[in-house]
Each structure stands twice: as structure tokens, then as C-alpha cells.
Structure 1
Amino acid sequence: MYPVDRSGRRLALRELTGEDVDGVFAIHGDREATRHVAFEPLARAQTGELVARYMASAGASPRSEYALAVVERTSGDLIGSGRVAADPHQPRGATFGFALQPGARGCGCGAELARFLLGSGFEDLHLRRIWGARSPLNEASARVMAKAGMVEEDVIRQHIEKAGEWRGPVVHAILEDEWAAAGGPGGRGTPGGRGTAFGRGRLARAPRRPVRRSWSVARARRRPVARRRR
């Protein structure tokens, strides 16, 4: 689906445009903002090429990558970027990632954005598993993904080389059933989102599986409450 348009309590997701190059450059060209990512800070020209590639991928059919602008809902200012992309190695699986301007950190926006992207992936795209990776030194990202309900799974040893140093990213993931158990639509996993985030595309072909309640929980809900005799 194009265009993407979804709003939460404080943040909103929308498609990237050519006018967002400076806003994205403020993130991907900043040394502090890119300290824990796999690439060195980008030049403005490189940022323009990246935004152009993301804009082109938005028009693909079927669409397998959703690279979006993250804006502050009331002002409309771009404060970050988010991405959900199909994982070619697993059915109904996807990777996700996000970045915020340094000034937008430490206020809960990261946790809200992570839940926002995960909720869109599970509730709109009907994914089964979503995973992301972080630098082993990025404890803030670890806290954000833990708050979003993601589980730390493993370390990919010496997978990335940056500044002459090999790093082993830490993988965090969450499953569809875990998302539903944590609250699902309207629960603590969804930050008050409205609108359609992603719609139909290659990531949305599989029908959504109904959430199965355990027998003990279902039985407990049907059990009548005993009345006390006077």
C-alpha cells in the first residue's frame, strides 16, 4: 500500500519524500547518532541517494520494504526513521530497525517507536516473527527492545567490521503469539495507533492466525463465581 500514514500518541509514520533529505542527514550524518550502527556517518549526497532508494522501493509491487519517516505528531518535524523489511530466509518474517535524532532520545520515544513498528508488522502485515540487531555496547537499544517485549536471542559473532574493529551484533526478536499475549491490538504493545500503516504487499499475503487461548484460561473465564451463603 502506498502511501503509509499512521499516527500514535506522540509520533506518526509517513512515507519519505525528497524534502526529508536534510532531516535524515541530521541522523545518518551525525557521528553520535551513528555510533552504534554498522555504517560510518553519511555525507549529504549519500543520504540523498539513500532516501531516493527508499522512495523507489515504496513503489515496488509487491512491496517488501517499508522505510518511513518518523515525525513528531503535533509539529510534524522529522525526528527519526523506521524500517520494516521482509526477511527472505523465513516465511512471514521481517527485520526491523529505527533511528532517532539525539535530541529525541531519553524521553520514551524510542520505546513508543519500537512498539509502533512491531504493532504495524503484526497487526497490519500479519507477520509471524520480527527481529532486530543492536551493537553489544548499545544498552539503550537493549532497554527499548525489552520494553517492547522482544527477547534477546543470540550474538552473531564478529559479523560487522567498523573502524577496523569486528563487532558481534546482539539479536532480539518477538513472535506473533508473544505480541498478542503482551496486549496485541489496543494493549501495551500498541501505542494508541490509528490508521493503516502498511496494507497489502508481499509482507501481507499470509492470512492472520487466530490467537488461541489456553484451555485453563478459557475454563477459568467460564467458571461461575460461587455465592456466599448468609
Structure 2
Amino acid sequence: MRSVHVNGSRLGLRDVTEADVAALHAVYGNPAVTEHMPFAPRTVEEVDRIVRDAMEAARADPRRLYVLAVTDAGSDEVVGVARLHIEADHPHSAEIGLGLRPDQWGRGIGTDLIKLVLSFGFRQVGLHRIWGARSPANLPAQLAMLTAGMVEEGRIRHHVLTPAGWRDSMVHSAIADDWVAY
């Protein structure tokens, strides 16, 4: 297994560990963070399972799932989570998912995180296409994705079942050939 360690100017990415469960619960368990996600806030036990599954997925060959702790570059504190899931039928394409603690919102950290994940996916993993789906109501995510160089492709109607019912998704993508300018 090759472990992930990516450093940016304000953020870092690394594989999650069991020691991250409490910090990741501050993301996955927060109702404000999960408001636009297709699941209710997670319990500590559910986050522990996510971490254990991610650690197991990190040992797979080929590796198809990266669940990464997002760290503050200055303090190394875990401030969020990033997920990169490579499609089995299309191994040069992957879906991203991101979450940051609310105290990180409004400072451009989301844009920095997307750029860091795109860089990792294109340069280190060798992907050709990276895409993500967001809630149509999540305008900060839209701004972050567009600012990071992703293109809004369109709407998937009734894409995910959330605790509140069916929800559409807005899809954004970046292509390696186009992204190099960012």
C-alpha cells in the first residue's frame, strides 16, 4: 500500500487513521455539514466504520477508494474529509466528495480543497476525468467548484434519496487536459 500525503499552501491530505474518528465525526456528525448530503448526521460508531472501511480500501490493489483527512497545513489539525472514488468500469474517472467543519467555511478553503484533490487525482493517480455532484441548493459548493476550475455539466433529476426525500444533483467535472491551467 502506498500511503497518501499531499501538501498544499493551506491544506494537506493524508489517509485517514483510527485516531481521526473524533475529528471526522465533527464533520460527518454535524447537521450543518450534512444538510446538503444524502444522509443524516452520522454517529461516532458510523464514522468509526467509515474509517475502518477506508483503511481496508487503502490496501486494495488496484486502489479504487481514497478517504482522506483534510488537515490544516499550519497545525496539522483535521478540519475535513475528502473522498475520491474511482469508477470500476471506467478506471480513469472518479467522483469526489468533500466536507469541511463549519468554522472553515467562508475563507476559500473549499476552493483550495477542490484544487488539491484535483491535483492529486490528475497528477498522482493519473485520472482523466474527475466529477462531483452537489445539491442544487448548495451555492457555496457551486462557487467553490467553479472557482477551482470545474465545469457545471447539468442536473440529474431525483439522483439521490435523502432523509427529506428525493433530491436532484448538479454535476460538475474537470478534465485533465483542461485543468492544467489551474
Which of the five TM-score ranges fits, normalised by the shorter chain? over 0.9
What's the CA shift string for 1:122-166, capped at 9, x where partnerless? 111221111000001000000000011111112110121223421
For 2:128, the equivalent position in structure 1 comes to 128
Match of 1:192 in 2: none
- Equivalent runs, 1:187-198 vs 2, <5 Å: 189=182
Structure with bigger RCO (C-alpha 8 Å, 6+ apart): 1
Partner of 1:155: 155
Q: Which has the larger radius of gyration?
A: 1
Correspondence for 2:95: 95
Q: How does 1:70-219 map to 2 (within 5 A)?
A: 70-180=70-180, 183=181, 189=182
- Equivalent position SS for 2:116: helix
Distance 2:63 2:165 in 1: 35
Contact kept, 8 Å, 2:38 with 2:163, in 1: the verdict is: no
- CA, structure 1 residues 91+54, in 2 after alignment: closer, same or farther (shift >3 Å)? closer
Q: After superposing the two structures, state which structure 1 stretch, 133-142 or 5-14, moved more.
A: 5-14
Preserved contact between residue 153 and residue 172 of structure 2 (Cα < 8 Å): yes
Question: CA distance change for structure 1 residues 92 and 75 in 2, over 3 Å: closer, same or farther?
Answer: same
Distance 2:53 2:130 in 1: 23
Secondary structure in structure 2 of the residue aligned to 1:40 = coil
- Alignment-mate amino acid for residue 154 of structure 1: G
Provide Cα deviations, 1:108-135, integer angstroms capped at 9, x if missing partner: 1110010000011111122111100000
Any idea what the Cα deviations from partners look like across 1:77-107, whole Å, max 9, x if unmatched? 1000111111234341111111100001111
Q: Which runs of 5 or more residues in structure 2 are unaligned?
A: none
For 2:34 and 2:66, the matched residues in 1 are separated by 20
User: How many Å separate the matches in 2 of 1:22 and 1:45?
Assistant: 10
Normalised by the length of structure 1, the TM-score is 0.77
Q: Percent identity?
A: 37
TM-score of the superposed pair, with normalisation by structure 2 = 0.96
Q: Tell me how large the CA RMSD over aligned residues is.
A: 1.1
